[in-house]
Amino acid sequence: MPPHCDTMDGPVVVAARMALERGNVNYILPWVPKESEREVIAAFQKSLAAGKKGGEAKEVADLWFFETVVRLHRAGEKAPYTGLKPAGLDEGPVIPLVDEAIKVKSPSALIEFLSEAVNQEITNKFDLVMEKKEYDVNNVDAGRHFVHAFLGLTLYSHHLYKFIKESNHGSEE
């Protein structure tokens, strides 16, 4: 799955398109880091000027502006920019649930879905540990299978908890 914000129908391009249509750069500025504002404003002004020529010039100018803001948005996430992706890509099940939660002003369905996914994954990993736990000490391969299962459960749980507690993406800085 590509990053949601890299797609032509993702929220960054939607905001950039709105900025160009309404002639107001402020629609896109929240999607880029503060230190990138000057570059976005300059690109916005150039794109608007080129877009006045219409036709292919507008199409090229708009696309260049979309690429610029997505690149800067991704840089703000400390993620690589790998180009714009086409609209309509499969985003997986979570992104539509996030969008719907915002639309209906309730995270319930999103929480239920994610809780079930985590529950199932931890249960599967735990069951594997329990299956591999009782091995003959003289069967080193069986011991390694246990250790592999143990580490799978332990590291998955640790990294999940760490991500939950330490991720600041989406929080005010």
Per-residue pLDDT reduced to its tens digit, 53-64: 999 999 999 999
Rounded CA-CA distance 145/128 in Å is 9
Backbone angles phi, psi at 137, to 5 degrees: -60, -25
Tell me the domain boundaries of the chain: 4-76, 94-166
Per-residue pLDDT reduced to its tens digit, 137-165: 999 999 999 999 999 999 999 999 999 99
- Residue 93: CB atoms within 10 A of its CB come to 11
Instruction: Tell me: pLDDT of 170 over 60.
Output: no
DSSP tag of 32: S
**CB under 8 Å to 92, separation ≥6 — which residues?**
1
Question: Which pLDDT value is given to residue 4?
Answer: 79
**CB under 8 Å to 18, separation ≥6 — which residues?**
27, 28
pTM above 0.85, yes or no: no
Per-residue pLDDT reduced to its tens digit, 121-140: 999 999 999 999 999 999 99
DSSP secondary structure string for all residues of 125-137 = HHHHHHHHHS--T
Rounded CA-CA distance 75/79 in Å is 6
* Residue 142 contacts residue 136 (beta carbons within 8 Å): yes
**Largest separation between any pair of C-alpha atoms in the chain:** 78
* % of the chain beyond a pLDDT of 70: 94
Question: Which pLDDT value is given to residue 1?
Answer: 42
Question: Which pLDDT value is given to residue 160?
Answer: 95
Tokens of 147: 């250790």
